[in-house]
Amino acid sequence: MANFENQKFITLDISGKNYLSWVLDVKLHLSAKKLRHTIEENNAASSEERATALIFLRHHIDDGLKYEYSTVENPLELWQNLNDRFEHLKAVVLIGYSYDFRILKQFQNIIPRCSKLYHN
């Protein structure tokens, strides 16, 4: 776990292009630090826990986002603001994955036929 702190953590890009992976990384990190509850509704986090989580979130977002949300003093509020801003990207990414899956499925059907052609 000591090496955990030394791992690279990608900051959230202002365009949100890495939002989905960033969300997963943040949730995992906050869970490991026992701070995940700070970004959940109706939490009973102490002011120290909220401050620690907010510092972590602000440290891992683009400078432009830091500036835009500079008045936010609650990690849950910042988390919700970022979610409201980038949530639509989930649908865009899932549509892309669906398209990629259909293409791969077509190749899955083609590969055995090509293999038979080349090996016969």
Three-class SS string for 45-61?
CCHHHHHHHHHHHHHCE
Q: What is the pLDDT of residues 32-69, one digit of tens each?
A: 999 999 999 999 999 999 999 999 999 999 999 999 99
CA distances from 81 to 39, 46, 66, 72, 91 (A): 11, 21, 12, 9, 18
pLDDT over 70 percentage in the chain: 68
Residue 85 to residue 77: CA distance in whole angstroms: 12
pLDDT score at 99: 54
* Residue 89 or 50, more confident: 50
Please choose, from the candidates 110, 13, 102, 4, the residue with its C-alpha nearest in 3D space to the C-alpha of residue 61.
Answer: 13
| Burial label, 61 (beta-carbon count in 10 A; 0-12, 13-18, 19+) | buried
Which residue's structure tokens are 């969300």? 23
Per DSSP, the residues of 74-102 read -HHHHHHHHHHHHTHHHHHHHHHHHHHHH
State the pTM of this model.
0.70
